[in-house]
Amino acid sequence: MIETCDLRKTYTMGDVSVHALRGISVRIEKGEFVGIMGPSGSGKSTFLHLIGLLDSQSSGKVLISGTDVSLLSNEKRSRFRLETMGYVFQDYALIEDLTVVENIAVPGFGLGMDYYKVMDRAMRLTEEVGLSGRAHHLKRELSGGQQQRVAIARALMNEPAIVFADEPCANLDTASSRMVLDLFHRLNREHGQTIVMVSHEPWHEEYFDRVIRFVDGRIDTDVTPDVE
């Protein structure tokens, strides 16, 4: 599904070069729920951004379903993201002027799907994340946990092959975090959804099939946690 070969990313800040990733080669299979963990500055978010096509690598390759995505033009990368990937950001990243159901529907409209089909699916996803009573509310009328559930539903709108989540529980309390993680877990189990999530909370490990731990821009460990 996702394969990286000697993936490197170097940021230049004035005269200083920062090596955020130092040659990552990894393979993530379809249907896996993978946790990317590690201390701050270890390169986990950079890795997520590169495999999620939100940033470009300095060298190395990213193959998704056999496609070398570094060879795609900007236009094709946009389309690839729209068709293949869903994103959940740390601070929810909802569009202020849209209601819950409209936010969820945006990727479907972007794909050029039929309006009624999009709205029907958006409503079903709203129900699935437990927000059917808030379908027509704006972002400012929702709690953080509710906003994150909307973001998850939006990420699933186009039935993407992979969902990327960048510390989705960072701004949530434990109860809301557990609700979001339960939701990801259910989607992974019921729909076989591939999920790649960045997290720094040790207790999140219990939800992951596999944990890739980054330290100083390298993979430190790549293990399947022992879940009781």
Partner 1 sequence: MKTVNIPVYLAVRAIQRGNKGTFLLTIMIVALSFVLMVFMPSLTAGLTGAYNQQVSDYQYADLIIEPDDDNQVLSDTHMLVRTIERTPGIAAASSHMIVSTSLESDKKILSRGVVAIIPSDEERVTKTFGKITEGRYLSDGDTDVILLGSVLAGHDDEKKDKMESLGGVHAGDSLEVTFQNGIVRKMTVAGIFETGSISADNEAFITQKEMESVLGATDKSSLILIRSSGAETLAETKIRLMEFGIHDDIKTVTEKGEGIIGDALKSFSLLNSIMLVFSLVIASIVIFIVVYINTTHQRRQIGILKAIGIPERDIIRDYLVQVAVIYGCGALCGVALFTCLSEYFRAFPLQFPAGAVYPVFDLTVLLPSLMVLGFVSLIAGFIPAKQATSEEILDLVNR
- Structure tokens belonging to residue 125: 């996803």
User: Helix, strand or coil for residue 193?
Assistant: coil
- Closer to partner 1 by Cβ: residue 168 or 207: 168
Residue 89 vs 132, nearer CB to partner 1: 89
Taking the complex as a whole, the smallest distance from the CB of residue 11 to partner 1 amounts, in Å, to 11
Instruction: State the nearest-atom distance from the C-beta of 154 to partner 1, in Å.
Output: 8
Q: 113 or 215: whose CB is closer to partner 1?
A: 113
What is the closest distance, in whole angstroms, from the C-beta atom of residue 228 to partner 1 in the complex? 36
- Separation between Cα atoms, residue 27 and residue 169, nearest integer Å: 25
Three-state SS for 79? helix
Distance CA 101, CA 120 (A): 10
Residue 199 near residue 40 (C-beta atoms within 8 A): no
Residue 93, both tokens: 């990243």
**Least CB distance from residue 146 to partner 1, whole Å?**
17
Residues that bind partner 1 (CB under 8 A): 49, 54-55, 74-75, 78-83, 85, 87, 89, 93-98, 102, 106-107, 109-110, 112-116, 118, 138, 154
> Closest by alpha carbon to 45, among 220, 224, 214?
214
For the CB of residue 225, give the shortest distance to partner 1 in the complex, in Å: 29
Cβ atoms 31, 188 nearer than 8 A: yes
In the complex, the smallest distance separating the C-beta of residue 94 from partner 1, rounded to whole angstroms, is 8
Task: Give kind and range of the element (H or E) at residue 19.
Answer: strand 16-28
* Shorter beta-carbon distance to partner 1: residue 26 or 98: 98
Q: How far apart are the first and last CA of the chain?
A: 28
Tokens at residue 161, please?
């092959």
The residue among 9 and 204 lying less far from partner 1, judged by its C-beta, is 9
Q: Which is nearer to partner 1, 43 or 211 (CB)?
A: 43
